[in-house]
């Protein structure tokens, strides 16, 4: 299929051509036609599937087909959970909307609100926002949402994981009843389905990849290794295979800092990206990573959400996530839009229960290898502590039987240090 067959107008086809996209991705093929017909959409799509263009292209088309209203009230609202994702969605809107007469802007917290206010007061057709800053500026009557015709909730699962459910509900109440709604989510818990029922009207369901399965082109490897040997093993893997651009995940912010420091000491230029870093520091780290000035980007799950790094070759799980769905998100950072990728997990004794949870979710095993010189040795009592915890957790709420299992598991960690 080619883009023209999706019914897109010439200025959008020109913009797509400029990006050298030869054909639509699966989600674009499935989502664009019903969105253009004005339908609500419930889309299951991970980052890396081309979902942003999947909603941005038809959104731009629909808005461009009527004359801009006087004073340009906001006609489309895109809500995202993180600042990075907000910035990237806005960038996509600018890229694909280059040949159209539409104005857009992005607002998020952690930066000075004044320039955002000034842009909003000039009038914009499309607003991309994170919930906190949106509600903050709305309560100051900087803008109105009364003319919104088009509402996109992007990465809805992450939005709920980050505790934005109440904010999302508040924002829904600020929108006019008659509007088109799109909901994108990588996973579909009971909570997401409930949320979808609240605001989608007879939605068309579209899926890019089957629920909770990883992109087939990603090669998944796992090494069983002692906790204290993980850094050495990582450095060996990086050097032996001359890995150039590596995204590394840790479970905690402090873990990301520690690993970043160690890698830099050992000559692997690394930067960290997590919730304690300022917006400027995150943007700088990401830019340097994209340029190749930083070889390893060490990230926590929340901070990495929505990072747009095309053709990322390697993702490393320095620590396995305690939420199996996060593994799917993490490795979705590689093998993007059709390219091959490698996801490597370093698994110590204490994480074996996490690995089993992940395999259960994926419905396949991840081969666990031991590398010579990095044998994990016997598990100590200390090693097994978190594994026992995970086991108890599963006993209380067996996997796949109770979706609420995710919430307590997460809050246990996030109250300490997970964002
Ligand atoms: P997303 O899933 O929206 O984060 O997009 C992932 C990456 O795929 C981005 O770098 C896009 O620029 C790229 N992309 C989007 N659509 C296409 C397409 N049709 N062909 C090739 N790459 C694409």
Tokens 């900087």 found at: 142
Q: Is the CB of 47 under 6 A from ligand 1?
A: yes
Q: What share of the chain is helix, strand, coil (3-state, %, to 5)?
A: 45, 15, 40
**Whole-structure pTM value:** 0.62
What is the model's pLDDT at position 320?
96
Residue 46: CB within 6 Å of ligand 1? no
Give the pLDDT of residue 412. Answer: 28
CB 152 within 8 A of CB 122: no
Q: Which atom of ligand 1 is nearest to the CA of 310?
A: 10
- Report how far apart, in Å, the C-alpha atoms of 10 and of each of 61, 142, 201, 342 are: 10, 34, 30, 37
| Pairwise CA distance, residues 250 & 259, whole Å | 8
310 touches ligand 1 (CB under 6 Å): yes
Where is average pLDDT lowest: 33-42, 48-57, 409-418?
A: 409-418
pLDDT tens digit string along 319-366? Answer: 999 888 888 888 877 765 556 688 999 999 999 999 999 998 888 899
Please name which of 258, 317, 260 lies closest in space to residue 288, comparing C-alpha atoms.
260
Give me ligand 1 centre to Cα 21, in Å.
8
β-sheet with 150-153: strand ranges across: 104-107, 126-129, 76-79, 150-153, 180-185, 41-44, 204-207
The per-residue pLDDT for 313 is 81
Q: Which CATH class is domain 218-396?
A: alpha beta
Report CA(357)–ligand 1 centroid distance (Å): 30
**How many whole angstroms from 413 Cα to the centroid of ligand 1?**
32
What pLDDT sits at residue 385?
A: 62
pLDDT of residue 216: 63
Using the mean position of ligand 1's atoms as its centre, give its distance from the Cα of residue 323 in Å: 26
| pLDDT attached to residue 417 | 35
| pLDDT reported for residue 305 | 65
Q: How far is CA 283 from CA 177, 290, 330, in A?
A: 37, 10, 19
Would the CB of 330 count as within 6 Å of ligand 1?
no
Is the pLDDT reported for residue 209 higher than 70?
A: no
Give the distance (Å) from ligand 1 centre to CA of residue 53.
7
Mapping DSSP to helix (H, G, I), strand (E, B) and coil, where does residue 36 land? Answer: helix
- The mean pLDDT value for 392-405 works out to 35
Query: Tens digit of pLDDT for each residue in 241-294?
Result: 888 889 999 999 999 999 999 999 999 999 998 878 877 788 788 889 988 899
Residue 18 has pLDDT above 70, yes or no: yes
Ligand 1 center–CA 258 separation, angstroms: 33
Q: DSSP per residue over 190-233, as a string?
A: HHHHHHHHHH-SSPEEEESS-TT---TTEEEEEEE--GGGHHHH
With the C-alpha atoms ordered 191, 194, 195, 201, is the resulting torsion angle positive or negative? positive
Q: Where in the chain is CATH 3.40.50.300?
A: 3-207, 218-396
What average pLDDT does this structure show over 130-147?
A: 96
- Average pLDDT of every residue of the chain: 85
368: pLDDT strictly greater than 70: yes
Q: Residue 390's pLDDT is what?
A: 41
Q: What's residue 401's pLDDT?
A: 33
Cα three-residue angle 149-150-151, rounded to 5 degrees: 130
Measured at the CA of 101, the angle between CA 78 and CA 125, to 5 degrees, comes to 30
Pocket lining: 334 vs ligand 1, CB cutoff 6 Å:
no
49 vs 55 pLDDT, higher one: 55
Residue whose CA is closest, atom 1 of ligand 1?
50
Residue 329 Cβ inside 6 Å of ligand 1? The answer reads no
- Which one, of 14, 7, 70, 81, lies nearest residue 38 by Cα? 7
Whether residue 50 has its Cβ less than 6 Å from ligand 1: yes
CATH of range 3-207; options 3.40.50.300, 2.40.70.10, 3.40.50.1000, 3.40.190.10: 3.40.50.300
What is the per-residue DSSP string for 342-354? EEEEEE-GGGHHH
Other C-beta atoms closer than 10 Å to the C-beta of 198 total: 9
User: Residues 99-113: what's their mean pLDDT?
Assistant: 94
- Residue 350, both tokens: 């204490």
Q: Which of 80-84, 111-115, 406-410 has the lowest mean pLDDT?
A: 406-410
- The percentage of the chain sitting over the pLDDT mark of 70, rounded to a whole number, equals 85
Q: Kindly state if the Cβ of 24 falls inside 6 Å of ligand 1.
A: yes
The reported pLDDT for the residue numbered 50 is: 87
Predicted pLDDT at 324: 87
* Distance between Cα 49 and ligand 1 center (Å): 6
Tell me, what's the pLDDT at 338? 55
Residue 27, phi then psi, degrees to nearest 5? -65, -35
Lowest mean pLDDT among 344-348, 384-388, 408-412: 408-412
Ligand 1 contacts CB of residue 56 (under 6 A): no
């Amino acid at each position: 299929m080619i883009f023209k067959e999706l019914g897109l107008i010439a200025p959008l086809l020109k913009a797509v051509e400029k990006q050298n996209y030869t054909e639509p991705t699966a989600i674009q093929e499935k989502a664009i036609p019903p969105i253009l017909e004005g339908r609500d959409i419930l889309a299951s799509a991970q980052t890396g599937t081309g979902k942003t263009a999947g909603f941005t292209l038809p959104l731009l088309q629909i808005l461009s087909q009527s004359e801009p209203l006087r004073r340009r009230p906001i006609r489309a609202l895109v809500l995202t959970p993180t600042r990075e994702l907000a910035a990237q969605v806005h960038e996509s809107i600018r890229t694909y909307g280059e040949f159209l007469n539409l104005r857009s802007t992005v607002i998020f917290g952690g930066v000075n609100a004044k320039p955002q206010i000034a842009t909003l007061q000039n009038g914009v057709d499309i607003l991309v926002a994170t919930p906190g800053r949106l509600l903050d500026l709305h309560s100051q009557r900087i803008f109105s949402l009364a003319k919104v015709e088009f509402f996109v909730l992007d990465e809805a699962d992450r939005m709920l994981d980050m505790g934005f459910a109440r904010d999302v509900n508040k924002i829904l109440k600020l929108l006019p009843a008659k509007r088109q709604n799109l909901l994108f989510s990588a996973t579909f818990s009971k909570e997401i389905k409930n949320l979808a029922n609240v605001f989608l009207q007879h939605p068309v369901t579209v899926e890019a990849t089957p629920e909770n399965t990883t992109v087939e082109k990603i090669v998944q490897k796992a090494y069983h290794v002692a906790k204290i040997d993980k850094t050495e093993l990582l450095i060996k893997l990086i050097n032996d295979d001359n890995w150039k651009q590596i995204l590394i995940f840790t479970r905690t912010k402090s873990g990301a800092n520690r690993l970043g420091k160690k890698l830099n000491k050992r000559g692997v230029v690394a930067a960290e990206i997590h919730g304690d870093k300022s917006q400027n520091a995150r943007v700088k780290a990401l830019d340097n990573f994209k340029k190749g000035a930083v070889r390893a980007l060490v990230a926590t799950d929340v901070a990495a959400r929505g990072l747009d790094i095309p053709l990322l070759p390697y993702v490393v799980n320095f620590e396995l996530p305690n939420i199996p769905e996060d593994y799917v998100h993490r490795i979705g950072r590689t093998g993007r839009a059709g390219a091959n990728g490698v996801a490597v997990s370093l698994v110590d004794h204490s994480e074996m229960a996490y690995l089993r949870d992940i395999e259960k979710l994926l419905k396949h095993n991840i081969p666990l290898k031991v590398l010579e010189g990095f044998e994990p040795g016997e598990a100590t009592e200390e090693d097994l502590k978190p594994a026992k915890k995970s086991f108890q957790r599963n006993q209380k709420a067996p996997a796949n039987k109770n979706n609420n299992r995710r919430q307590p598991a997460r809050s246990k960690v996030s109250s300490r240090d997970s964002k």
